[in-house]
């Protein structure tokens, strides 16, 4: 999911006092005592040759194209294990 610069600017302009938190439960001490951090999986830098049209497509989707390619490959792996 990407967000436009214009929308990001609008979001950053919102003052803390104007944010409505009524539908978000408060995170109390009990929550933090039981919270478990989830760290991203280790990434490994590789060199891979892909067709130009594939790279063009994913780059055209916006920022984070490498992560999107990774997600597509992960979906393929999950489908093969079903």
Alpha-helical regions (H) of 1-82: 5-13, 29-34, 52-60, 65-80
pLDDT at residue 1, rounded to an integer: 61
Q: How remote is the C-alpha of 67 from its chain's centroid?
A: 8
Could you give the CA distance from residue 78 to residue 74 in angstroms, rounded to a whole number? 6
Classified as helix, coil or strand, 57 is helix
- Sorted by where each begins, the domain ranges of the chain are 5-80
Burial of 55 (0-12, 13-18, 19+ CB in 10 A): middle
> How high is the mean pLDDT in each 10-residue block of the chain (82 residues)?
88 93 88 84 92 96 92 92 84
């Amino acid at each position: 999911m990407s967000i436009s610069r214009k929308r990001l600017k609008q979001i950053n302009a919102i003052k803390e006092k104007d944010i409505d938190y009524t539908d978000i439960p408060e995170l109390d001490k009990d929550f933090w005592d039981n919270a478990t951090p989830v760290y991203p999986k280790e990434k490994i830098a590789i060199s891979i040759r892909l067709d130009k049209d594939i790279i063009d497509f994913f780059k055209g989707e916006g920022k984070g194209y490498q992560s999107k390619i990774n997600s597509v490959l992960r979906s393929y792996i999950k489908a093969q294990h079903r």
